[in-house]
Amino acid sequence: MYLKLKKYFKTWVIFFVTIIFVFNSEPRMTFSLENLDLSAKSAVLMEESTGQILYGKETDEKRSIASITKIMTLLLIMEALKDNRTKLTDKVTASEHAKSMGGSQIWLKSGETMKVEDLIKAVVIVSANDAAVALAEHICGTEGNFVKNMNKKAKELNLNNTHFKNCTGLDEEGHFSTAKDIATMARELIKYKEILRHTTTWMDHLRDGKSLLVNTNKLIKSYRGITGLKTGTTDDAGCCICATARRNDTGLIAVILGCEKSEDRFKDAEKLLDYGFNNFSFVTPKLDTINLSPIKVLKGIKQNIKLEVLKDKKILIPKGSEKDVTSTVEIKDAVCAPLAKGQALGKVIYKIKDQQVASLDILSSEDCPKATFGNILKNFVKSFVGG
């Protein structure tokens, strides 16, 4: 009897922990609803729009990541296109260094020219190392300079457990990342929707049809809603994949690292994506605006100002919990001037059974300068003339 009670108690504890989702500006770790029995050494499932982590296994473990590296390579290339530092139609001349890359490649010859768009296609679809290096040299002069920018971008994205030594992902000491960091950089890359045109392509050609490209991501043909993104395999990294998918208004990013067999990474990615789509959904809870009456302002030229909430915020919750979402308003009775339009003055707190799942800022709808003799006089004259 004692053992049964202990077992049930543990089950309920795990259940209530799973619904603790805090959607502030910083994504926060959450706990899984079940054990998915993954083959991967480390894994993570992230919701695309919020950055919320829905499942994790050794998410911060530093590992070799093979060609998953090219997610950051592609991110910098897309930024260069956005900033007009290169164009899709620009011609790139392959160097001897680019030609010398091993592993997956399109067999570039030294001096061969190819358009930026075709090289991107080769990097995305067949994970071509020579194409990646050619693009890196085209944008930054040398692969070394490009790698410096990769590490700089990693710091900007707060990828504290990531360091790059090359732009290809070929095994090299000191080149590593984590499942969580990869999901974060993937989230940035897929903001460039044009990249999805290539990540969802199963077959294509280069060199006027002479070179066939077949996507290394088998999920492109088999998983509903798949949008990408990148596979990778080396001796140190094992078999890896970062898989992205979207169904209706939910986008998911699944990262699988360190599988022994290629088919295992695809099975694990499917498990993660199925888990996310089957167990979570977005809701837009109604906001009670009764408590959003004008707030009193101290030491301001106005006695009170109106409040606003720009829009209702969709929140991701376990399916079946939709009716349990409640909202409360937290705001002071009075605030001190000066105040700026759009300044946060309070929060709407969304909860499920006393557990906070999201918050939404309550904003000042207008400016309210601090009261001075000058602006008091100005307002008096203005009202007098107007009267």
Structure-token match 């790139």, residue found:
92
Residue 78's identity, in one-letter code, is M
Question: What secondary structure does DSSP assign to 106-122, as a single string?
Answer: --PPTT-EEEHHHHHHH
Q: Provide the 8-state DSSP code for 66.
A: G
Question: Pick the catalytic residue: 70, 153, 271, 313?
Answer: 70
Residue 243's nearest CA partner among 234, 224, 261 is 224
Question: Pick the catalytic residue: 67, 177, 281, 364?
Answer: 67
Distance CA 122, CA 128 (A): 6
What residues does 329 pair with on adjacent strands? 348
φ and ψ at 263, to 5 degrees? -65, -25
Q: Evaluate the CA torsion angle 31, 36, 38, 44 in order and state its sign.
A: negative
- What does the block give as tokens for 6? 């202990």
67 tagged catalytic: yes
The crossing angle, in degrees rounded to 10, of helices 70-82 and 129-140 is: 40
- What does the block give as tokens for 59? 């998410």
Question: Pick the catalytic residue: 127, 177, 281, 359?
Answer: 127
User: Taking a C-beta distance cutoff of 8 angstroms, is the pair 154, 161 a contact?
Assistant: no
H helix runs in the chain, sequence order:
2-18, 70-82, 96-99, 116-126, 129-140, 143-156, 179-189, 196-199, 219-222, 262-279, 373-386
Q: Evaluate the CA torsion angle 162, 188, 232, 138 in order and state its sign.
A: negative
φ and ψ at 64, to 5 degrees? -65, 145
Residue 276's nearest CA partner among 43, 26, 17, 72 is 43
127 tagged catalytic: yes
Distance CA 39, CA 121 (A): 30
Residues annotated as catalytic (active site), given as ranges: 67, 70, 127
